[in-house]
Structure 1
Amino acid sequence: MDLQLTGRTALVTGGTKGIGRAIVEGLAAEGVKVAFCARTATDVAAVEEELRGAGHDVTGTAVDVADAEALTAWVAASAEHYGGIDVVVANVSALAIGPGPEHWKPSFEVDLMHTVRMVDAALPHLEASGVGSVIAVASVSGREIDFALGAYGVMKAALVHYTSGLAHQLAGKVRANSVTPGNTYFDGGVWQSIERDDPDFYSYALGLNPTGRMARPEEIAYGVVMLASPRASFITGSHLVIDGALTRGVQL
Protein backbone atom coordinates (compact mmCIF):
# COMPACT_ATOMS: atom_id res chain seq x y z
CA MET A 1 0.00 0.00 0.00
CA ASP A 2 1.25 3.47 -0.89
CA LEU A 3 1.33 5.45 2.36
CA GLN A 4 1.37 8.71 0.37
CA LEU A 5 4.45 9.88 2.24
CA THR A 6 6.85 10.27 -0.69
CA GLY A 7 8.23 13.80 -0.81
CA ARG A 8 6.90 14.74 2.62
CA THR A 9 9.15 16.23 5.30
CA ALA A 10 9.44 14.96 8.87
CA LEU A 11 11.28 16.07 11.99
CA VAL A 12 12.38 13.40 14.48
CA THR A 13 14.10 14.00 17.81
CA GLY A 14 16.47 11.41 19.24
CA GLY A 15 17.07 9.91 15.82
CA THR A 16 20.42 8.16 16.23
CA LYS A 17 19.56 5.01 18.17
CA GLY A 18 16.79 2.66 19.16
CA ILE A 19 13.20 3.66 18.44
CA GLY A 20 14.17 7.09 17.13
CA ARG A 21 16.59 5.72 14.57
CA ALA A 22 14.07 3.10 13.48
CA ILE A 23 11.52 5.88 12.96
CA VAL A 24 13.98 7.86 10.83
CA GLU A 25 14.73 4.77 8.76
CA GLY A 26 11.06 3.82 8.46
CA LEU A 27 10.04 7.25 7.24
CA ALA A 28 13.03 7.55 4.90
CA ALA A 29 12.16 4.17 3.37
CA GLU A 30 8.77 5.63 2.44
CA GLY A 31 10.43 8.50 0.58
CA VAL A 32 10.19 11.05 3.37
CA LYS A 33 12.82 13.77 3.73
CA VAL A 34 13.85 13.52 7.38
CA ALA A 35 15.55 16.08 9.61
CA PHE A 36 16.63 14.41 12.82
CA CYS A 37 18.55 15.47 15.88
CA ALA A 38 20.33 14.03 18.90
CA ARG A 39 22.77 15.36 21.48
CA THR A 40 25.98 13.65 20.36
CA ALA A 41 27.47 15.18 17.22
CA THR A 42 29.55 12.13 16.30
CA ASP A 43 26.51 9.85 16.45
CA VAL A 44 24.49 12.29 14.36
CA ALA A 45 27.21 12.49 11.71
CA ALA A 46 27.59 8.71 11.53
CA VAL A 47 23.87 8.05 11.11
CA GLU A 48 23.51 10.84 8.55
CA GLU A 49 26.39 9.45 6.51
CA GLU A 50 25.05 5.90 6.64
CA LEU A 51 21.50 6.81 5.64
CA ARG A 52 22.60 9.19 2.91
CA GLY A 53 24.84 6.45 1.61
CA ALA A 54 21.74 4.26 1.36
CA GLY A 55 20.11 6.90 -0.83
CA HIS A 56 17.91 8.63 1.73
CA ASP A 57 17.39 12.39 1.98
CA VAL A 58 18.20 13.00 5.65
CA THR A 59 19.79 15.83 7.60
CA GLY A 60 21.16 15.37 11.09
CA THR A 61 21.90 18.08 13.64
CA ALA A 62 23.35 17.95 17.15
CA VAL A 63 20.75 19.52 19.43
CA ASP A 64 20.04 19.37 23.15
CA VAL A 65 16.25 19.44 23.12
CA ALA A 66 16.18 20.82 26.67
CA ASP A 67 17.65 24.01 25.22
CA ALA A 68 14.49 25.79 24.09
CA GLU A 69 16.31 28.28 21.88
CA ALA A 70 18.39 25.62 20.13
CA LEU A 71 15.36 23.40 19.60
CA THR A 72 13.29 26.22 18.10
CA ALA A 73 16.17 27.25 15.85
CA TRP A 74 16.55 23.65 14.61
CA VAL A 75 12.86 23.45 13.72
CA ALA A 76 13.08 26.75 11.80
CA ALA A 77 16.27 25.75 9.98
CA SER A 78 14.82 22.37 9.02
CA ALA A 79 11.65 23.96 7.68
CA GLU A 80 13.71 26.39 5.62
CA HIS A 81 16.01 23.65 4.33
CA TYR A 82 13.20 21.37 3.17
CA GLY A 83 10.59 24.01 2.36
CA GLY A 84 8.11 23.05 5.06
CA ILE A 85 7.18 20.43 7.66
CA ASP A 86 4.53 17.73 7.33
CA VAL A 87 5.28 15.44 10.27
CA VAL A 88 6.70 15.99 13.75
CA VAL A 89 7.81 13.05 15.88
CA ALA A 90 8.79 13.87 19.47
CA ASN A 91 10.78 10.86 20.59
CA VAL A 92 13.45 12.05 23.05
CA SER A 93 13.27 11.08 26.71
CA ALA A 94 15.53 12.02 29.61
CA LEU A 95 14.95 8.51 31.01
CA ALA A 96 15.05 10.10 34.44
CA ILE A 97 13.63 7.31 36.58
CA GLY A 98 13.44 7.89 40.31
CA PRO A 99 12.30 10.37 42.98
CA GLY A 100 13.65 13.83 43.70
CA PRO A 101 14.07 17.07 41.73
CA GLU A 102 17.07 15.66 39.87
CA HIS A 103 14.58 13.41 38.06
CA TRP A 104 11.49 15.63 37.90
CA LYS A 105 13.21 18.61 36.30
CA PRO A 106 14.82 16.81 33.33
CA SER A 107 11.67 14.73 32.80
CA PHE A 108 9.63 17.93 32.59
CA GLU A 109 12.07 19.81 30.37
CA VAL A 110 12.97 16.94 28.03
CA ASP A 111 10.03 14.53 27.86
CA LEU A 112 7.21 17.04 28.05
CA MET A 113 8.40 20.55 27.23
CA HIS A 114 10.59 19.57 24.28
CA THR A 115 7.44 18.12 22.71
CA VAL A 116 5.40 21.26 23.42
CA ARG A 117 8.11 23.60 22.15
CA MET A 118 8.76 21.53 19.06
CA VAL A 119 5.09 21.50 18.14
CA ASP A 120 4.70 25.22 18.83
CA ALA A 121 7.64 26.01 16.53
CA ALA A 122 6.46 23.67 13.78
CA LEU A 123 2.74 24.43 13.95
CA PRO A 124 2.56 27.12 11.23
CA HIS A 125 4.29 24.73 8.84
CA LEU A 126 2.11 21.79 9.87
CA GLU A 127 -1.03 23.81 9.28
CA ALA A 128 0.24 24.99 5.91
CA SER A 129 0.99 21.39 4.95
CA GLY A 130 -2.66 20.35 4.81
CA VAL A 131 -1.65 16.86 6.05
CA GLY A 132 0.20 17.87 9.21
CA SER A 133 0.73 15.15 11.78
CA VAL A 134 2.18 15.17 15.30
CA ILE A 135 3.23 11.93 17.01
CA ALA A 136 4.57 11.82 20.56
CA VAL A 137 6.34 8.72 21.84
CA ALA A 138 5.12 7.95 25.35
CA SER A 139 5.58 4.74 27.38
CA VAL A 140 3.70 1.95 29.09
CA SER A 141 4.99 3.55 32.30
CA GLY A 142 2.56 6.37 31.60
CA ARG A 143 -0.32 3.94 31.22
CA GLU A 144 0.06 2.00 34.45
CA ILE A 145 2.20 2.12 37.58
CA ASP A 146 5.42 0.13 37.19
CA PHE A 147 9.05 0.35 38.28
CA ALA A 148 9.33 3.76 36.55
CA LEU A 149 6.70 5.41 38.72
CA GLY A 150 7.27 9.06 39.54
CA ALA A 151 8.69 11.62 37.14
CA TYR A 152 9.17 9.38 34.11
CA GLY A 153 5.74 7.78 34.17
CA VAL A 154 3.96 11.04 35.01
CA MET A 155 5.51 12.94 32.10
CA LYS A 156 4.78 10.10 29.68
CA ALA A 157 1.15 10.16 30.79
CA ALA A 158 1.17 13.93 30.30
CA LEU A 159 2.26 13.43 26.68
CA VAL A 160 -0.84 11.35 26.00
CA HIS A 161 -3.04 14.04 27.55
CA TYR A 162 -1.21 16.76 25.61
CA THR A 163 -1.61 15.12 22.21
CA SER A 164 -5.27 14.33 22.88
CA GLY A 165 -5.91 17.98 23.70
CA LEU A 166 -3.91 19.10 20.69
CA ALA A 167 -6.01 16.87 18.44
CA HIS A 168 -9.17 18.48 19.72
CA GLN A 169 -7.84 22.02 19.38
CA LEU A 170 -6.51 21.47 15.86
CA ALA A 171 -9.21 19.15 14.53
CA GLY A 172 -9.48 19.49 10.76
CA LYS A 173 -6.10 21.22 10.57
CA VAL A 174 -3.42 19.00 12.12
CA ARG A 175 -3.66 15.46 13.49
CA ALA A 176 -2.04 14.55 16.81
CA ASN A 177 -1.56 11.09 18.29
CA SER A 178 0.64 9.31 20.81
CA VAL A 179 2.39 5.96 20.59
CA THR A 180 3.10 3.97 23.73
CA PRO A 181 5.88 1.40 23.37
CA GLY A 182 6.39 -1.49 25.70
CA ASN A 183 9.87 -2.54 26.78
CA THR A 184 12.08 -2.29 23.70
CA TYR A 185 15.47 -3.94 23.37
CA PHE A 186 18.29 -2.63 21.18
CA ASP A 187 22.07 -2.29 21.20
CA GLY A 188 23.11 0.50 23.54
CA GLY A 189 19.64 0.73 25.05
CA VAL A 190 18.54 0.75 28.67
CA TRP A 191 17.36 -2.86 28.63
CA GLN A 192 20.69 -4.09 27.31
CA SER A 193 22.35 -2.27 30.21
CA ILE A 194 19.92 -3.78 32.69
CA GLU A 195 20.49 -7.23 31.20
CA ARG A 196 24.21 -6.80 31.87
CA ASP A 197 24.08 -5.03 35.25
CA ASP A 198 20.94 -6.45 36.86
CA PRO A 199 20.13 -9.79 35.22
CA ASP A 200 17.56 -10.72 37.86
CA PHE A 201 15.48 -7.62 37.18
CA TYR A 202 15.89 -8.10 33.44
CA SER A 203 14.56 -11.65 33.72
CA TYR A 204 11.65 -10.39 35.81
CA ALA A 205 10.76 -7.69 33.26
CA LEU A 206 11.08 -10.11 30.37
CA GLY A 207 8.79 -12.56 32.13
CA LEU A 208 6.01 -9.98 32.42
CA ASN A 209 5.40 -9.99 28.68
CA PRO A 210 3.20 -12.88 27.50
CA THR A 211 5.03 -12.94 24.16
CA GLY A 212 8.21 -13.92 26.00
CA ARG A 213 10.26 -11.13 24.46
CA MET A 214 10.67 -7.38 24.24
CA ALA A 215 9.83 -5.23 21.24
CA ARG A 216 12.23 -4.45 18.43
CA PRO A 217 12.61 -0.75 17.53
CA GLU A 218 11.23 -1.28 14.02
CA GLU A 219 8.02 -2.70 15.48
CA ILE A 220 7.40 0.56 17.33
CA ALA A 221 8.46 2.62 14.32
CA TYR A 222 5.84 0.91 12.16
CA GLY A 223 3.08 2.42 14.28
CA VAL A 224 4.63 5.89 14.02
CA VAL A 225 5.02 5.69 10.24
CA MET A 226 1.43 4.50 9.86
CA LEU A 227 0.13 7.41 11.95
CA ALA A 228 2.26 9.85 9.96
CA SER A 229 0.66 8.73 6.70
CA PRO A 230 -2.08 10.86 5.14
CA ARG A 231 -3.98 7.57 4.79
CA ALA A 232 -4.55 7.84 8.56
CA SER A 233 -6.50 11.02 7.90
CA PHE A 234 -9.27 10.29 10.44
CA ILE A 235 -6.98 8.98 13.18
CA THR A 236 -6.38 11.83 15.61
CA GLY A 237 -6.47 12.05 19.37
CA SER A 238 -5.61 8.35 19.54
CA HIS A 239 -3.24 6.54 21.87
CA LEU A 240 -1.65 3.56 20.14
CA VAL A 241 -0.23 0.99 22.56
CA ILE A 242 2.45 -1.26 21.04
CA ASP A 243 3.51 -3.54 23.87
CA GLY A 244 2.89 -7.16 22.95
CA ALA A 245 0.02 -7.35 25.48
CA LEU A 246 2.33 -6.34 28.33
CA THR A 247 -0.16 -3.96 29.96
CA ARG A 248 -3.56 -5.19 31.03
CA GLY A 249 -5.59 -2.01 31.31
CA VAL A 250 -8.64 -1.72 29.08
CA GLN A 251 -9.00 1.50 27.10
CA LEU A 252 -12.66 2.48 26.95
Structure 2
Amino acid sequence: MSNRLESKVIIVTGGTSGMGSAFARRAASEGATVLIGARDKERGESTAAEIARDGGKALFVPTDVTVEEEIAHLVDVAVTEFGGLHGAFNNAGGGNIQGTIRSTEASFWDRVIALNLTSVFYSLKHEIPAIIASGGGSVVNNASVVGVAGDPTAVAYSAAKHGVVGLTRSAALDAAKENVRVNALVTGLVNTPLWRGFSADNPEAASTLLGRQPTGRAADEAEIAAFAAFLLSDESPFINGAALAIDGALTAGY
Protein backbone atom coordinates (compact mmCIF):
# COMPACT_ATOMS: atom_id res chain seq x y z
CA MET A 1 0.00 0.00 0.00
CA SER A 2 1.32 3.46 -0.90
CA ASN A 3 1.80 6.35 1.51
CA ARG A 4 0.17 8.94 -0.74
CA LEU A 5 -1.96 10.27 2.15
CA GLU A 6 1.03 10.59 4.48
CA SER A 7 0.76 13.59 6.86
CA LYS A 8 -2.82 14.33 5.80
CA VAL A 9 -5.55 14.75 8.40
CA ILE A 10 -8.85 13.51 6.99
CA ILE A 11 -12.39 13.43 8.36
CA VAL A 12 -14.85 10.70 7.45
CA THR A 13 -18.48 10.99 8.52
CA GLY A 14 -20.50 7.84 8.87
CA GLY A 15 -17.21 6.05 9.35
CA THR A 16 -18.35 3.17 11.57
CA SER A 17 -19.69 0.83 8.88
CA GLY A 18 -20.01 0.26 5.16
CA MET A 19 -18.22 2.59 2.77
CA GLY A 20 -17.21 4.97 5.57
CA SER A 21 -15.48 2.28 7.59
CA ALA A 22 -13.79 0.87 4.49
CA PHE A 23 -12.53 4.32 3.59
CA ALA A 24 -11.27 5.05 7.12
CA ARG A 25 -9.21 1.86 7.01
CA ARG A 26 -7.92 2.56 3.50
CA ALA A 27 -6.95 6.16 4.28
CA ALA A 28 -5.15 5.12 7.46
CA SER A 29 -3.30 2.39 5.59
CA GLU A 30 -2.05 5.05 3.17
CA GLY A 31 -0.67 7.18 5.99
CA ALA A 32 -3.51 9.55 6.88
CA THR A 33 -4.64 10.48 10.36
CA VAL A 34 -8.36 9.74 10.26
CA LEU A 35 -11.09 11.31 12.37
CA ILE A 36 -14.23 9.18 12.40
CA GLY A 37 -17.38 11.18 12.98
CA ALA A 38 -20.51 9.14 13.75
CA ARG A 39 -23.18 8.60 16.38
CA ASP A 40 -22.43 5.03 17.43
CA LYS A 41 -19.76 5.39 20.13
CA GLU A 42 -19.14 1.68 20.60
CA ARG A 43 -18.61 0.96 16.92
CA GLY A 44 -16.67 4.20 16.43
CA GLU A 45 -14.20 3.46 19.18
CA SER A 46 -13.91 -0.14 18.01
CA THR A 47 -13.15 0.95 14.43
CA ALA A 48 -10.52 3.45 15.61
CA ALA A 49 -8.94 0.80 17.85
CA GLU A 50 -8.79 -1.73 15.01
CA ILE A 51 -7.09 0.84 12.77
CA ALA A 52 -4.57 1.55 15.51
CA ARG A 53 -3.88 -2.18 15.96
CA ASP A 54 -3.11 -2.35 12.24
CA GLY A 55 -0.57 0.45 12.63
CA GLY A 56 -2.76 3.36 11.50
CA LYS A 57 -3.79 6.58 13.21
CA ALA A 58 -7.47 7.18 13.96
CA LEU A 59 -9.66 8.97 16.46
CA PHE A 60 -13.39 8.59 16.98
CA VAL A 61 -15.32 11.82 17.66
CA PRO A 62 -19.02 11.34 18.56
CA THR A 63 -20.90 13.33 15.91
CA ASP A 64 -24.50 13.74 14.85
CA VAL A 65 -24.08 15.16 11.35
CA THR A 66 -27.54 16.74 11.45
CA VAL A 67 -26.36 19.10 14.23
CA GLU A 68 -24.13 21.92 12.96
CA GLU A 69 -22.40 22.42 16.29
CA GLU A 70 -21.27 18.81 16.34
CA ILE A 71 -19.82 19.08 12.83
CA ALA A 72 -18.03 22.26 13.89
CA HIS A 73 -16.63 20.39 16.91
CA LEU A 74 -15.40 17.52 14.71
CA VAL A 75 -13.49 19.97 12.51
CA ASP A 76 -12.15 21.79 15.56
CA VAL A 77 -10.78 18.55 16.99
CA ALA A 78 -8.93 17.90 13.75
CA VAL A 79 -7.32 21.33 13.88
CA THR A 80 -6.54 21.50 17.60
CA GLU A 81 -5.42 17.88 18.08
CA PHE A 82 -3.61 17.26 14.79
CA GLY A 83 -2.67 20.72 13.54
CA GLY A 84 -4.99 21.10 10.57
CA LEU A 85 -7.39 19.49 8.12
CA HIS A 86 -6.48 18.37 4.61
CA GLY A 87 -9.49 16.38 3.46
CA ALA A 88 -12.88 14.89 4.17
CA PHE A 89 -15.11 12.09 2.97
CA ASN A 90 -18.65 13.25 3.72
CA ASN A 91 -20.25 9.84 3.65
CA ALA A 92 -22.96 9.87 6.35
CA GLY A 93 -26.45 9.35 4.99
CA GLY A 94 -28.95 6.70 4.07
CA GLY A 95 -31.51 5.79 6.69
CA ASN A 96 -35.08 4.86 5.80
CA ILE A 97 -35.32 6.26 2.27
CA GLN A 98 -38.42 4.65 0.78
CA GLY A 99 -41.39 6.88 -0.06
CA THR A 100 -43.25 8.11 -3.12
CA ILE A 101 -44.24 11.69 -3.82
CA ARG A 102 -47.80 10.94 -2.67
CA SER A 103 -46.94 8.88 0.40
CA THR A 104 -44.13 10.99 1.85
CA GLU A 105 -45.05 12.94 4.98
CA ALA A 106 -43.41 16.29 5.66
CA SER A 107 -41.70 14.99 8.79
CA PHE A 108 -40.19 12.07 6.84
CA TRP A 109 -39.01 14.48 4.12
CA ASP A 110 -37.36 16.70 6.73
CA ARG A 111 -35.48 13.77 8.31
CA VAL A 112 -34.17 12.45 4.98
CA ILE A 113 -33.09 15.90 3.79
CA ALA A 114 -31.39 16.66 7.12
CA LEU A 115 -29.36 13.45 7.14
CA ASN A 116 -28.47 13.30 3.45
CA LEU A 117 -28.18 16.94 2.33
CA THR A 118 -28.12 19.44 5.19
CA SER A 119 -25.39 17.41 6.86
CA VAL A 120 -23.20 17.84 3.78
CA PHE A 121 -23.85 21.59 3.81
CA TYR A 122 -22.80 21.79 7.48
CA SER A 123 -19.72 19.69 6.72
CA LEU A 124 -18.56 21.78 3.78
CA LYS A 125 -19.28 25.02 5.63
CA HIS A 126 -16.84 24.09 8.40
CA GLU A 127 -14.38 21.87 6.53
CA ILE A 128 -13.49 24.23 3.69
CA PRO A 129 -12.18 27.13 5.85
CA ALA A 130 -10.09 24.67 7.89
CA ILE A 131 -8.68 23.07 4.72
CA ILE A 132 -7.85 26.50 3.27
CA ALA A 133 -6.06 27.43 6.50
CA SER A 134 -4.07 24.18 6.23
CA GLY A 135 -2.83 24.99 2.73
CA GLY A 136 -5.48 23.28 0.65
CA GLY A 137 -6.84 19.82 0.08
CA SER A 138 -9.78 17.80 -1.15
CA VAL A 139 -13.33 16.91 -0.15
CA VAL A 140 -15.38 13.99 -1.46
CA ASN A 141 -19.15 13.90 -0.94
CA ASN A 142 -20.96 10.58 -1.28
CA ALA A 143 -23.94 11.08 -3.58
CA SER A 144 -25.75 8.31 -5.47
CA VAL A 145 -27.00 7.25 -8.86
CA VAL A 146 -30.34 8.68 -7.73
CA GLY A 147 -28.53 12.01 -7.43
CA VAL A 148 -28.36 12.15 -11.23
CA ALA A 149 -31.53 10.20 -12.07
CA GLY A 150 -34.92 10.14 -10.41
CA ASP A 151 -36.37 7.36 -8.27
CA PRO A 152 -40.16 7.42 -7.82
CA THR A 153 -39.92 5.11 -4.80
CA ALA A 154 -37.45 7.28 -2.85
CA VAL A 155 -38.25 10.87 -3.77
CA ALA A 156 -36.85 12.57 -0.66
CA TYR A 157 -33.59 10.62 -0.91
CA SER A 158 -33.28 11.32 -4.62
CA ALA A 159 -33.93 15.02 -4.05
CA ALA A 160 -31.31 15.08 -1.29
CA LYS A 161 -28.68 13.37 -3.42
CA HIS A 162 -29.42 15.67 -6.37
CA GLY A 163 -28.82 18.46 -3.86
CA VAL A 164 -25.48 16.94 -2.87
CA VAL A 165 -24.35 17.02 -6.51
CA GLY A 166 -25.40 20.66 -6.88
CA LEU A 167 -23.82 21.59 -3.56
CA THR A 168 -20.60 19.86 -4.60
CA ARG A 169 -20.36 21.84 -7.82
CA SER A 170 -21.14 25.13 -6.11
CA ALA A 171 -18.58 24.53 -3.35
CA ALA A 172 -15.94 23.56 -5.91
CA LEU A 173 -16.43 26.82 -7.77
CA ASP A 174 -16.39 28.79 -4.53
CA ALA A 175 -13.09 27.36 -3.26
CA ALA A 176 -11.19 26.48 -6.45
CA LYS A 177 -8.83 29.45 -6.31
CA GLU A 178 -7.99 28.65 -2.68
CA ASN A 179 -6.62 25.20 -3.50
CA VAL A 180 -9.63 23.19 -2.33
CA ARG A 181 -11.19 20.55 -4.58
CA VAL A 182 -14.72 19.23 -4.03
CA ASN A 183 -16.09 16.20 -5.88
CA ALA A 184 -19.03 13.84 -5.54
CA LEU A 185 -19.21 10.08 -5.93
CA VAL A 186 -22.20 8.81 -7.89
CA THR A 187 -22.34 5.40 -6.27
CA GLY A 188 -24.56 2.54 -7.38
CA LEU A 189 -25.22 -0.70 -5.55
CA VAL A 190 -22.54 -1.33 -2.92
CA ASN A 191 -22.23 -4.48 -0.82
CA THR A 192 -22.64 -2.76 2.53
CA PRO A 193 -24.38 -4.11 5.65
CA LEU A 194 -27.38 -1.96 4.64
CA TRP A 195 -27.56 -3.64 1.23
CA ARG A 196 -27.10 -7.11 2.67
CA GLY A 197 -29.89 -6.49 5.17
CA PHE A 198 -32.18 -5.17 2.43
CA SER A 199 -31.40 -8.17 0.25
CA ALA A 200 -32.20 -10.59 3.05
CA ASP A 201 -35.49 -8.89 3.84
CA ASN A 202 -36.50 -8.16 0.23
CA PRO A 203 -34.97 -10.86 -1.99
CA GLU A 204 -37.23 -10.17 -4.98
CA ALA A 205 -36.61 -6.43 -4.93
CA ALA A 206 -32.87 -7.01 -4.52
CA SER A 207 -32.88 -9.41 -7.46
CA THR A 208 -34.67 -6.79 -9.58
CA LEU A 209 -32.11 -4.13 -8.67
CA LEU A 210 -29.20 -6.44 -9.45
CA GLY A 211 -30.90 -7.30 -12.74
CA ARG A 212 -30.61 -3.64 -13.76
CA GLN A 213 -26.90 -3.62 -12.96
CA PRO A 214 -24.82 -4.19 -16.13
CA THR A 215 -22.05 -5.86 -14.14
CA GLY A 216 -24.53 -8.19 -12.43
CA ARG A 217 -23.06 -7.45 -9.01
CA ALA A 218 -22.81 -4.80 -6.35
CA ALA A 219 -19.53 -2.97 -5.81
CA ASP A 220 -17.30 -4.00 -2.95
CA GLU A 221 -16.86 -1.37 -0.23
CA ALA A 222 -13.11 -1.48 -0.84
CA GLU A 223 -13.60 -0.39 -4.46
CA ILE A 224 -15.37 2.78 -3.34
CA ALA A 225 -12.77 3.41 -0.64
CA ALA A 226 -9.90 3.12 -3.12
CA PHE A 227 -11.45 5.67 -5.47
CA ALA A 228 -12.22 8.10 -2.65
CA ALA A 229 -8.62 7.79 -1.43
CA PHE A 230 -7.38 8.63 -4.94
CA LEU A 231 -9.56 11.76 -5.04
CA LEU A 232 -8.26 12.84 -1.63
CA SER A 233 -4.65 12.34 -2.68
CA ASP A 234 -2.36 14.68 -4.59
CA GLU A 235 -2.63 12.36 -7.60
CA SER A 236 -5.92 13.94 -8.70
CA PRO A 237 -5.09 17.68 -8.74
CA PHE A 238 -7.26 18.66 -11.73
CA ILE A 239 -10.40 16.71 -10.82
CA ASN A 240 -12.72 19.29 -9.30
CA GLY A 241 -16.45 19.95 -9.26
CA ALA A 242 -17.22 16.56 -10.76
CA ALA A 243 -19.96 14.04 -10.12
CA LEU A 244 -18.04 10.85 -10.79
CA ALA A 245 -19.89 7.62 -11.47
CA ILE A 246 -18.56 4.54 -9.72
CA ASP A 247 -21.58 2.41 -10.53
CA GLY A 248 -20.57 -0.42 -12.85
CA ALA A 249 -22.04 1.38 -15.91
CA LEU A 250 -25.50 1.67 -14.36
CA THR A 251 -26.02 5.34 -15.26
CA ALA A 252 -24.42 4.82 -18.68
CA GLY A 253 -27.73 3.31 -19.76
CA TYR A 254 -29.97 6.08 -18.41
| TM bucket normalised to smaller | over 0.9
Deviation digits for residues 143-179 of structure 1, max 9, x if unmatched? 1123553110111011111111111111121111101
Q: Which amino acid aligns with 2:67?
A: D
Q: CA contact under 8 A between 1:163 and 1:237: conserved in structure 2?
A: yes
Deviant stretches of 4+, over 6 Å: none
Distance in 2 of aligned mates of 1:26 and 1:172? 29
Q: Does 1:244 align with 2:248?
A: yes
Task: Kindly indicate whether residue 185 of structure 2 is the aligned counterpart of residue 213 of structure 1.
Answer: no
Unaligned runs of 5+ in 1: none
- The Cα offsets for residues 69-91 of structure 1, whole Å up to 9 and x where unpaired, read as 12211211222111100001110
Q: Distance in 1 between matches of 2:250 and 2:96?
A: 22
Distance 1:9 1:42 in 2: 22
The one-letter code matched in structure 2 to 1:5 is L
Per-residue deviation at 1:2?
Answer: 5.5
CA contact (8 A) 1:163 1:177 kept: yes
Identity %: 32
Q: Which residue of 1 aligns with 2:182?
A: 176
Moved more, 9-18 or 145-154: 145-154
Structure 2 counterpart of 1:146, which letter? Answer: D
| Structure 2 Cα separation of the partners of residues 45 and 143 of structure 1 | 35
Compute the TM-score of the two structures, normalised by the length of structure 1: 0.93
Q: CA separation in 1, counterparts of 2:142 and 2:123?
A: 13
Q: Superposition RMSD on alpha carbons, in Å? A: 1.7
Give TM-score, length-normalised by structure 2.
0.92
Q: Which residue of 2 aligns with 1:90?
A: 90
Tell me what 1:165 maps to: 170
Q: 1:130 aligns with which of 132, 135, 150?
A: 135
Q: What is the count of residue pairs matched by the alignment?
A: 248
Task: Mark the runs of 5 or more structure 2 residues left unpaired by the alignment.
Answer: none
What's the CA shift string for 1:169-191, capped at 9, x where partnerless? Answer: 111211111011101113x32x2
1:1-252 to 2 correspondences below 5 Å: 4-97=4-97, 98=99, 99-146=104-151, 148-173=153-178, 174-186=180-192, 188-189=193-194, 191-248=195-252
The answer as to whether partners of 1:96 and 1:106 remain within 8 angstroms in 2 is no
1-structure distance, mates of 2:189, 2:81: 35
